[in-house]
Structure 1
Amino acid sequence: MKRDQLSNMTAQGGIITTGFLDQMRGETSVNPLVKPQAFATFGSPAPESQKTLDEKISDSFYNLVERWDSISNFYDNMDVSEARRRWIIPLLQELGFDPDFNHKDRMVDGDEQLRFRLSHRGWASSDAPMIHTVAPKQDLETRSDDGRGSKRSPHDELQTFLNVSKDHKWGIITNGISFRILRDFFHTTTKGYVEFDIENILRERSYSDFRAFYRMAHASRFRGDDGNGNYPLEQFYRESVTAGEKVGQNLRGNVKRAIEVFGNGFLTLAPELKEQMVEDEELCNDYYSEILRVIYRILFLLYAEQRAMLPTRGSLYIDEYSITRLREIAESRKGNDDHCDLWEGLKITFWMLAEGCPPLNVFAYNGSLFDRSEIPKIRKLKMKNHDLLEAIRCLTLFEEDRMQKRINYLDLDVEEIGSIYESLLDFTPRVLSSAMEIDGRQIPANRFFLDPRGSARKSTGSYYTDKRLVDELIKSALKPVAERRMAKPGDREAAILSLRVCDPACGSGAFLIAATNYLGKELAKVRTGESEPSDNDIRHARRDVLQHCIYGVDVNPMVVELAKVSLWINAAVNDLPLNFLDHHI
């Protein structure tokens, strides 16, 4: 299997999408902010031509490769001063910075409570970005234990500064191995950053990854503006937000197409079932429910694989049983034949998630999602490879500017699933006895399709909850109750876990997800004593909150399953089951 193109880069929290990072790897780019004129820095004019810029990037790459090779064997043993002198400062200089050491803590608005220990500015100017450099062995998300450092982790030190400072929007944190770009970020449930694995980029001689790094991290990205006070990184951020919205919009239509491909793919090899379904509303709905369950399973696997909740690159699972493998086959257009082995293989993957497969390091996630008994018709049916691969293409690719691009589930919040659910409520599954034109679309007889003249939303009273309303509910309803509980003397962890949150019309789980996220972070704060716990601590806390505090009900059984999937993805921990969800939702 080919190496993951973005294995040396990580984008989290929606700051920059992975799709945008992938574009930055390309030899050429239409983005004006990566053209030569955009790379001017203080006292250094912009390169005169594209050739000059390309040569400068190449020179920086080989200079850093040579320097890294000379120190890499003992870099981990350097103290912070030596690491800065021999590696981190030269690295920053190659990126156009002129690092200026901060001889004292930075205070915001003269407030002693807002004092931050940040090592450098990008250059000697009040508008320069903060660059916090730490020792090679210092993890960016772990507090220093030397007794002299901040009570926050390096990441949280810079992030908190950016959040409270009116004059700084972006900054850098690095130990010389990991290099993170941060933005002021008020998301309550996850960290936001772009990270580059400098060690791997240089060790693997990955020039395309270095090109992306240079284009994203060069000093010129942190200065200059578009006339509205937005320098290149901020414009990258806005482009990424827009691109992410387009991905969500495309995915809604793609899921509908995938459902119809699945529906007709199975029925092609099951003519008797197809005949029974003609104009049979109840049978069509049952069949549709099973297809949706398969779609939910695939969506879960796409999230889980891309978020490393399942075995990753180089594992037998990824190479032989994963959705990642199916996606690559679908992209290559190989395997588009009339055999049925790929569907049989996918059923084995589903079985692994249901029962667990310790030899492949796949743990059972339990619950009803992967239960064989939940798809009694479909599990007995067959599907040709070309139909399955077409459905996989619908769920993993979208077209933009006449090009096929991957849908990267790292760029999608779990709440995006709610918008998919919202669109699905508008359709009714049908198989017609005779051809018909519906909304300008010619529907052949005996073909499974989703009728846009549906009534599921009206009949069940189901509506997607707007995120702004959800946020207000958390702020005005849940937060005051939680704060009162935690303010009482006694065990604060027990106080949080004693809360019960029930949504009697939970829909796709938007409010329950937000409640899990809020309480999960508060629980992680209590357990760790940190204002910004690690993502791993938060995820474990979310799972415990989900197990003890979260309940939901809905009259639409398909919606209930979607809520479970959404909550599952949001709180799943690699080796711990979530089978209790079936009793809560």
Structure 2
Amino acid sequence: MSYFDNHYLFSETYVKEYIRMQKNLIGQGVELSYKMVKDWHDECSKSNWFSDYICPVLDTVGFKYQAATNNIMTLYTNNPASGDKPVAVLYATDKGTDLNSTIKGRYYAYKTVKTAKEQGTEWAMLTNGYKWRLYHVKNVSPYENYLEVNIENSLKNNKAPDEAFTLFHLFFNARTYYLEDGELAIEKIKDKSDEKAEQVEDFLRGKAEEILKDICYGLKENMDRETYDSATCRMIYQDAITLLFRMLFFGYAESRGLLPCDAADTDYSRNSFFRLCAEAKDILNAGSANEYKNGFEFWDRLDEHLRIYVDRTYNGGLFNNDDKPILREYKIANGWLMKCLAEIAYKKDKKTNTYDEKIEYKDLSVRNLGSIYEGLLEFNLFIADEQMVKRTAKGKTQYFKTSDVTLKKSDEPNIIEKGDIYLSQDATERKDTGAYYTPEDVVEYIVGNTVGKKLEELQAKLKKQLQNKYDELGVEPTQSGRKRIQQAIDEETLAFVRERILSLSVIDSAMGSGHFLVNAAYRMANGIVDILCANDWESEEYIPVDIGYWKRKVVEKCIYGIDITGWQ
């Protein structure tokens, strides 16, 4: 939908469900709202864009607001439960303004979120009258994650509400910000959205072990050895985890547009990860797996093309196989790999036993991927040297040689034949997952009281350092003189950021999947933007305030992680 961009603010899966549920409930309200908004739009001139269009739109969708200051309004509802408490702020720019601007003084996302924080609201809206964006100030990256609806085509070319205006009516209507049981309706949407994202993680975590076993079976089959010592089993398992997470990375990166999977880049798109998954799914659904199972076409496209393309293009070494003894020497036949690709990208319909619904990788965060990863690190690969049986009780799984126990009827689904693979802490026992993944609120608290406190300390030093210049600025009578002082302040601030903040080292000596470090990188990048944008003037010299730029710089200069793999 070109008119709708859920830019990682909500779960993509939940937003689609919410839209389907709500469209049948809003009825004639959206038609009346559309007619009024379109009338205001058609009668409005550009010179009176704010007073003759933006304000009436807010009236139409039910918001109350205080008199605007610099086109910024604090929004209220007529919901009695909310009282006089503001529910959001709105920053309205001129007609046609580029909301993506990251020029200092015109970084509208920053201005919007900053105002919401100052007003004590968690929700902030930004609009040029056509594009309407919603931000959440508590998001880990509040300036770059948003939901946007574009109603320009609706108002200019239509005579009735279309899909775009219906979505606008859903997310920017005052009723969506009513207080219900101590919580705004939009906050309940966010809570359910977060729950849905966790369900995607849970679903993939539940699949991960079986997919991993199939990868191991595929590698073992290609190795075709009589025996496998413990060192070889460890290498197979380690490289299998590497391959599994390369595939998860492909899914995550493609879903977020981080890899060039569009048709224009034919080198990538003809072998994009999701294209491979879709082709594998179609073959399996058609019952044609036997025709392909002994070939290596899918491996060649995944490993010899896709992996090498990404490694060469981004030059990061992440996909290099030089230190991967199994992946460097062996392949996985289509029979095993097609199933892995279909399982990792699709859900299976229980009635038809076919792969149907695509897993929404856009919903996964780095934290979700880390949880899946750390849940697999505790295990190792074992190959049964004789028939065994798996038995589970009280969160503990044990493996017995069938020759040592009396088999029961209930054991039949849990028989492990000679040569079969199983995953365990040791050859005879495993416990429930031992992944100890730190909850997000704990990470926030620790990072806030370490990295956050250090940033506050440095910000205070910078303020003291610049005080004389700000005093001078306050009494400077000429415009040219003010410009000169402002430029000096900007340059000194930028130098301070580069010399004092980018010289910090943030180290996690037991980083695991990097949860703390990712949070710290966001915290530092957002802190830098706050420092650079603290004054609101537009600089004649280019001052970088794009959050993406500073995330890259922080990761390059400040973030360090140390860990062991867990394999001896």
Alignment-derived partner of residue 446 in structure 1: 419
Question: CA contact under 8 A between 1:24 and 1:212: conserved in structure 2?
Answer: no
For residues 485 and 413 of structure 1, what CA distance do their matches in structure 2 show? Answer: 30
Which of 150, 156, 170 aligns to 1:215? It is 170
Distance 1:283 1:475, change over 3 A: same
Alignment-derived partner of residue 11 in structure 1: 6
The two structures have a TM-score, normalised by structure 1, of 0.70
For residues 64 and 331 of structure 2, what CA distance do their matches in structure 1 show? Answer: 65
For residues 363 and 270 of structure 2, what CA distance do their matches in structure 1 show? Answer: 25
For residues 429 and 441 of structure 2, what CA distance do their matches in structure 1 show? Answer: 24
Distance 1:408 1:201, change over 3 A: farther
Which of 332, 350, 353 aligns to 1:383? It is 332
User: Counterparts in 2 of 1:118-517, with a 5 A limit?
Assistant: 118-119=72-73, 121=75, 130-142=89-101, 153-166=107-120, 168-185=121-138, 187=140, 191-199=144-152, 211-223=166-178, 225=180, 228-268=181-221, 270=222, 272-273=224-225, 275-277=226-228, 280-315=229-264, 316-317=266-267, 319-332=269-282, 333=285, 336=289, 337-338=292-293, 339-347=295-303, 348-356=305-313, 364-367=314-317, 369-398=318-347, 405-440=357-392, 441-451=414-424, 464-485=437-458, 487=461, 491-492=495-496, 493-517=498-522
Alignment-derived partner of residue 554 in structure 1: 563
Alignment-derived partner of residue 395 in structure 2: none
- SS of aligned partner of 1:438: strand
Alignment-derived partner of residue 469 in structure 2: none
Does residue 540 of structure 1 match 2:553?
no
For residues 200 and 17 of structure 1, what CA distance do their matches in structure 2 show? Answer: 26
For residues 547 and 257 of structure 1, what CA distance do their matches in structure 2 show? Answer: 36
For residues 437 and 526 of structure 2, what CA distance do their matches in structure 1 show? Answer: 24
The residue type equivalent to 2:233 in the other structure is C
Q: 1:154: Cα distance to partner?
A: 3.6
Question: CA contact under 8 A between 2:211 and 2:343: conserved in structure 1?
Answer: yes
Q: 1:414: Cα distance to partner?
A: 0.9
The residue type equivalent to 1:222 in the other structure is Y
Per-residue Cα deviation, 1:405-438 (whole angstroms, up to 9, x for no partner): 4433332221222211221133221221223222
The residue type equivalent to 2:151 in the other structure is I
The residue type equivalent to 1:242 in the other structure is E
Question: CA contact under 8 A between 1:429 and 1:448: conserved in structure 2?
Answer: yes
Question: CA contact under 8 A between 2:217 and 2:421: conserved in structure 1?
Answer: yes
For residues 257 and 396 of structure 1, what CA distance do their matches in structure 2 show? Answer: 14
Alignment-derived partner of residue 472 in structure 2: none
For residues 83 and 312 of structure 1, what CA distance do their matches in structure 2 show? Answer: 40
Per-residue Cα deviation, 1:108-165 (whole angstroms, up to 9, x for no partner): xxxxxxxx742585778856754443223323353799xxxxx574433433343344
Structure 1 or 2, whichever has the larger Rg, is: 2
- SS of aligned partner of 2:126: strand
Alignment-derived partner of residue 518 in structure 1: 523
- SS of aligned partner of 1:10: strand
Q: 1:329: Cα distance to partner?
A: 2.9
Distance 1:174 1:189, change over 3 A: closer
State percent identity of aligned pairs.
21
- Which one is further off, 211-220 or 196-205? 196-205
Question: CA contact under 8 A between 1:10 and 1:18: conserved in structure 2?
Answer: no
For residues 525 and 554 of structure 1, what CA distance do their matches in structure 2 show? Answer: 32
Q: 1:284: Cα distance to partner?
A: 1.0
- Which one is further off, 473-482 or 448-457? 448-457
- Which one is further off, 539-548 or 382-391? 382-391
Distance 1:82 1:514, change over 3 A: closer
- SS of aligned partner of 2:72: coil
Alignment-derived partner of residue 575 in structure 1: none
Q: 1:468: Cα distance to partner?
A: 4.1
Distance 1:373 1:182, change over 3 A: same
How many residues end up aligned between the 2 structures?
Answer: 489
Q: 1:192: Cα distance to partner?
A: 4.0
Distance 1:163 1:405, change over 3 A: farther
Per-residue Cα deviation, 1:480-511 (whole angstroms, up to 9, x for no partner): 44444562657412111222233322222222
Question: CA contact under 8 A between 1:136 and 1:176: conserved in structure 2?
Answer: yes
Distance 1:313 1:286, change over 3 A: same
For residues 121 and 479 of structure 1, what CA distance do their matches in structure 2 show? Answer: 30
For residues 88 and 452 of structure 2, what CA distance do their matches in structure 1 show? Answer: 34
Alignment-derived partner of residue 113 in structure 1: none
Per-residue Cα deviation, 1:296-351 (whole angstroms, up to 9, x for no partner): 22222222222222225333256312112223334544674324312211120110
For residues 325 and 232 of structure 1, what CA distance do their matches in structure 2 show? Answer: 38
The residue type equivalent to 1:81 in the other structure is N
Question: CA contact under 8 A between 2:525 and 2:550: conserved in structure 1?
Answer: yes
- Which one is further off, 437-446 or 400-409? 400-409
Question: CA contact under 8 A between 1:516 and 1:546: conserved in structure 2?
Answer: yes
- Which one is further off, 538-547 or 448-457? 448-457
Alignment-derived partner of residue 111 in structure 1: none
Alignment-derived partner of residue 577 in structure 1: none
For residues 544 and 428 of structure 2, what CA distance do their matches in structure 1 show? Answer: 41
Alignment-derived partner of residue 567 in structure 1: none
Per-residue Cα deviation, 1:343-372 (whole angstroms, up to 9, x for no partner): 21112011011112xxxxxxx2422x2113
Per-residue Cα deviation, 1:539-573 (whole angstroms, up to 9, x for no partner): 322222222222222232779xxxxxxxxxxxxxx
For residues 481 and 170 of structure 1, what CA distance do their matches in structure 2 show? Answer: 27
The residue type equivalent to 1:521 in the other structure is N
The two structures have a TM-score, normalised by structure 2, of 0.72
Distance 1:152 1:504, change over 3 A: same
Per-residue Cα deviation, 1:28-80 (whole angstroms, up to 9, x for no partner): x3xxx6553xx4xxxxxxxxxxxxx2x66578789999999x99xxx9xx746
For residues 430 and 183 of structure 2, what CA distance do their matches in structure 1 show? Answer: 42
For residues 546 and 285 of structure 1, what CA distance do their matches in structure 2 show? Answer: 31
For residues 118 and 57 of structure 1, what CA distance do their matches in structure 2 show? Answer: 26
Q: 1:230: Cα distance to partner?
A: 3.5
User: Counterparts in 2 of 1:90-101, with a 5 A limit?
Assistant: 97-98=61-62
The residue type equivalent to 1:17 in the other structure is S
The residue type equivalent to 1:134 in the other structure is T
Q: 1:455: Cα distance to partner?
A: 11
Per-residue Cα deviation, 1:247-306 (whole angstroms, up to 9, x for no partner): 2222222222221121223334x2624x332xx221011011111221222222222222
For residues 442 and 73 of structure 2, what CA distance do their matches in structure 1 show? Answer: 40
Question: CA contact under 8 A between 1:20 and 1:240: conserved in structure 2?
Answer: yes
Q: 1:518: Cα distance to partner?
A: 2.3
For residues 380 and 544 of structure 2, what CA distance do their matches in structure 1 show? Answer: 40
- SS of aligned partner of 2:423: strand
For residues 400 and 211 of structure 1, what CA distance do their matches in structure 2 show? Answer: 31
Distance 1:314 1:483, change over 3 A: same
Q: Unaligned regions of 5+ residues in structure 2, if any?
A: 393-413, 466-491, 537-542
